[in-house]
Amino acid sequence: MKKTLPVIAALGVAALAFTGCTDSAADPESNGSGDGGDAGELRTVRVAALPIAETGAIWAAETEGIFADHGLELEIIPSQGGAQAIPALQNGDIDIAIAQPFGAFRANLADLPIRIIGNYANSNAEGEDVNSVVAGADSGITDLADLSGKRVSVNSLGAAGDVTIMKAVDDAGGDSSTIEFVEVAFPEVPAQLDAGNIDAAWAPDPFRNQVVEAGGADLVYPYQATIPGLTVLTNVTSAEVLDSDPELIEDWSAALDEALQFAAENEDAVREAIASNLEIPAEVVDGIVLPEFTSEIDTADLQSLIDLAVDYSVLDGEPDLNELVTE
């Protein structure tokens, strides 16, 4: 497997508006309890999240007042992936990251005190899934084996995207070792495919929809092809925050659990939040495939993902899940 550093896309997320989420008037030193309170008593929790449909769960829950009920006000900081969020956690720039688990995996292997404190969303074990590999309309790619020797983008190199894609391509009779994976932020995928800078891309909605509606090919749901129902995003913090501010983590965890339950039961509210925060038309949002929102994490699936990553030499060892996962 060939890999290149990000030569195409910087953080395209900067162009996206996060209405009502990026600035907080709350006093970060004030103590919000799980009982909620007046606006002046809210504590700010800094959360790194990707600008994708899955973030609709916390956008919708914030609008519903769920986080305020737990004494919290969110400051949502755009992120490109889990690997990019780990240094921010280490530096104390953020309190929580909603991210793929690979950043946490590598942190554990490097003896960095990062902890997965719960799940956030799972892929769909059957039917339409939340991410897929799409090829440009003029790429000539029609099936998975055609990805051999091609440039394929993922949002973060050496994570669940390229690992599951490699397995799916090999199972389809292709040669994953000849794929050149390139790092491209999700919002940049349609433009980079149009420009011919990449041949195919791993992308969630709404960016997948944009490619398919423009005549692109939807090739595979790589999670379903390898580990059906695999976690899409986990809930990550640092051991320092966990140990020094357990009240914040307790309030956050209780609020997030309620937020994810609300999202699971109120799809319309989630779609409305996606349309507002990603500034895309409601009719586009209607076609977005939503994940299974849940705070419950499946460590067996995480272990299967680790095993696959070790097989493909994406990880050079096995993270200690007993140490890493602290629900």
Question: Residue 21 carries which DSSP code?
Answer: T
| 183: pLDDT strictly greater than 90 | yes
| 309: pLDDT strictly greater than 90 | yes
CA–CA dist 160, 299 (Å, integer)? 15
| 105: pLDDT strictly greater than 60 | yes
CA–CA dist 57, 271 (Å, integer)? 9
Backbone phi, psi, residue 92, to 5°: 80, 15
pLDDT at 80 (0 to 100): 62
pLDDT at 82 (0 to 100): 62
CA–CA dist 138, 216 (Å, integer)? 8
Q: What is the pLDDT of residues 123-152, one digit of tens each?
A: 999 999 999 999 999 899 999 999 999 999
Question: Residue 204 carries which DSSP code?
Answer: E
Q: Which whole number is the average pLDDT over 98-127? A: 95
Q: What letter represents residue 123's amino acid?
A: S
Of 251, 262, 233, which Cα lies nearest the Cα of 62?
262
Q: Considering only 7-21, 63-77, 115-129, 305-319, which range has the smallest mean pLDDT?
A: 7-21
CA torsion through residues 110, 114, 117, 118, sign? negative
pLDDT at 45 (0 to 100): 97
| 29: pLDDT strictly greater than 50 | no
Q: Which whole number is the average pLDDT over 72-97? A: 88
Q: 21 falls in which pLDDT band (50, 70, 90)?
A: very low
Beta carbons within 10 angstroms of residue 107's beta carbon: 24
Q: Which whole number is the average pLDDT over 297-310? A: 97
Q: Considering only 8-12, 77-81, 256-260, 285-289, which range has the smallest mean pLDDT?
A: 8-12
Percentage of the chain with pLDDT > 90?
Answer: 75
CB 77 within 8 A of CB 11: no
Pick the residue with more confidence: 125 or 23?
A: 125
Name all contacts of 194-199 with Cβ < 8 Å and 24+ positions apart: 194/136, 196/136, 196/138, 197/8, 197/151, 198/8, 198/136, 198/151, 198/152, 198/153, 199/135, 199/136, 199/139, 199/141, 199/147, 199/150, 199/151, 199/152
| 19: pLDDT strictly greater than 70 | no
Show the domains of the chain with their CATH numbers: 2-7+126-226 (3.40.190.10), 12-123+231-324 (3.40.190.10)
| 3: pLDDT strictly greater than 70 | no
- Residue 323 CA to its chain's centroid (Å): 22
Pick the residue with more confidence: 21 or 116?
A: 116
Q: What is the DSSP track for 258-322?
A: HHHHHHHH-HHHHHHHHHHHTT--HHHHTTPPP-EE-S---HHHHHHHHHHHHHTTSSSS---HH
Q: 12 falls in which pLDDT band (50, 70, 90)?
A: very low
Residue 129, CA atoms < 13 Å, CB-side half-sphere? 26
Q: 70 falls in which pLDDT band (50, 70, 90)?
A: very high
Structure tokens at 76: 């949502």
Q: What is the pLDDT of residues 194-244, one digit of tens each?
A: 999 999 999 988 889 889 989 999 999 999 999 999 999 999 999 999 999
